[in-house]
Amino acid sequence: MNGSHDGSVDGGDTDPVHGDPVAPRIIFENDELMVLDKPSGWHTVSGKGDARGEPSIEAWLRKRDPEAEHLPEAGLIHRLDRGTSGCLIVARTLDASEVLQEELRDGRIQKRYLAVIQGRIGRKGDFVLHFTSRYRGSRKMRVTSEGDHTVRGRCRWWRRDDLHPGPGRQTVEVDLMGAGRRHQVRAGLAFLGTPLVGDTLYGGPDAPRIMLHAWAVIIEGRRIEAPIPPGFGAEADD
């Protein structure tokens, strides 16, 4: 995939209070794909928040480029929860969409997250857990140690002692192994007794946003990072 361009193409304003971007920003693009920095508070696909006037990346892509009408979900390769910010991969052609979907399923695309947890966790570790819906239409996922391989999710993590999000909290870097299950990082870390700050659905303390950021994706050996937002403990927060 050649002809690449790194950097913010569409600008993107920031929230004057929290410093979070309030519009998507293109942080990488070439002829076949884009990687967006998705703001927290945006849906990935259209539908759920339309009646309430809540923005979605899919609608933004369709408005930005009429050619996106010819692509499934305007070229989106995967999804992020509404409260999660960071790297979102978008195909620009049907061929690229098929290739990227296959690479994602096979684990050839790596995804790294930063999460701020409440409590303390080991220096590094991993989990293999099973994620199922509690009941039809439930927002919350049920997590178990045992289960069918079709609902299995794997993560490994490293504690980021160079990041300081505040008393009683730690920032961890999470490698989402494989395509991922719904709420895998959120529900998995809560199952371990360390819920995400802002993730009240899974027992985390209240905060202005869920403290989960899709920090980086690695596609065909190229690492693309979304800037770390305020609150995750980076030096820029000081």
Enumerate the β-bridge partners of residue 230.
none
Query: Among residues 81, 106, 175, 237, which one is catalytic?
Result: 81
Q: At residue 185, what are phi and psi to the nearest 5 degrees?
A: -70, -45
Q: Which of 215, 214, 227, 196 is nearest to 14 (CA)?
A: 227
| β-strand pairing of 33-38 with 25-29 | antiparallel
The reply to whether 81 belongs to the active site is yes
CA-based torsion, 43, 48, 50, 51: positive or negative: negative
Q: Which of 91, 46, 195, 224 is nearest to 185 (CA)?
A: 195
Cβ atoms within 10 Å of 25's Cβ, excluding its own: 20
Cβ proximity of 174 and 232 under 8 Å? no
| Alpha helices per DSSP H over 11-105 | 57-64, 94-105
Residue positions annotated with a catalytic role:
81
